[in-house]
Amino acid sequence: MMKQGNLTSFYRIHSEPVTGEIKIDAGSVSYWHNARYDGHKLLYFEEEGYTDFEGTIFDEKGYKLTLTDIDPNQAAYYSFSRTIDAWDSHNRATHYTETGHREATGDYEREWWGTYEDKEEGARLTYYKEEFTDANKVKITTERWITYPSDKGQMLSYHEVVTDPMGNQTITDWEGTYDDKDRLIEYHKTVLDTAIGTTIEVDWYGSYNNLGQLKSETYIETDAETGKTQRRYLYNIRYNILGKQASFTEKLVDDTGT
């Protein structure tokens, strides 16, 4: 059964392994191509496409959306090429370099390392490091360690360290709770910013409708030093035919109750 808002169609250039693919969904269109392999080990590929479309064509066309309905002037263009040069024993990429361009921010470079669970199928990412250099040659390094509750299921927690060129760090610890349908129903997050010496505690709670769509959420942010709290409530969330949020009611409350 297809979920609303997910992939609705694609065109595949058939070969073994696959060397090209066009995907269209409710928010983007992408063309994945020029793939090179060593056997079934992916060495290189390129991708380009458009994201952040205005919503009008999707409301009009729905799931019958085709490439001819896409107006690039309504979207943001991106492109990148990725070279993979290290794999684990199950041919999962553990290191790659990437160069690309985003219309909004310009050229960028990315270098990535990762490790996975040691199993044949369904292995999940347990650690990654990313060095991202933007068009102004500013490099941001991100490292994340991920834990899972069992052999199956969603992420239980992560510890993340983001470091800027000055050595300042943003350190995040996150832990989530899920219902029996693997939907996130609450999380707690602690964010330490070493540059300004602040620690923020965040608590989030969510509930879902019968279709599995978020129907309400509560976001509570507390400054650990001052104790000041901000609360944000979203409710009456409604969705369009594509499963995208169409409207909601929002309420913001601070320590004064306003």
* CB-CB contact of 10 with 39 (8 Å): no
Q: Which residue has the higher pLDDT, 69 or 177?
A: 177
Q: Which residue has the higher pLDDT, 161 or 64?
A: 161
Instruction: Read off the pLDDT of each residue in 108-137 and give the average, rounded to a whole number.
Output: 95
Instruction: State which amino acid sits at residue 123.
Output: A
Bond before 17 cis per omega within 30 degrees = yes
Domains of the chain by residue range: 1-85+94-108, 138-258
Domain 138-258, CATH class in plain words: mainly beta
Q: How many residues does the chain have?
A: 258
pLDDT in tens, 167-196: 999 999 999 999 999 999 999 999 999 999
Lowest mean pLDDT, pick from 24-33, 44-53, 217-226, 227-236 = 24-33
- According to the model, what pLDDT value does residue 62 have? 47
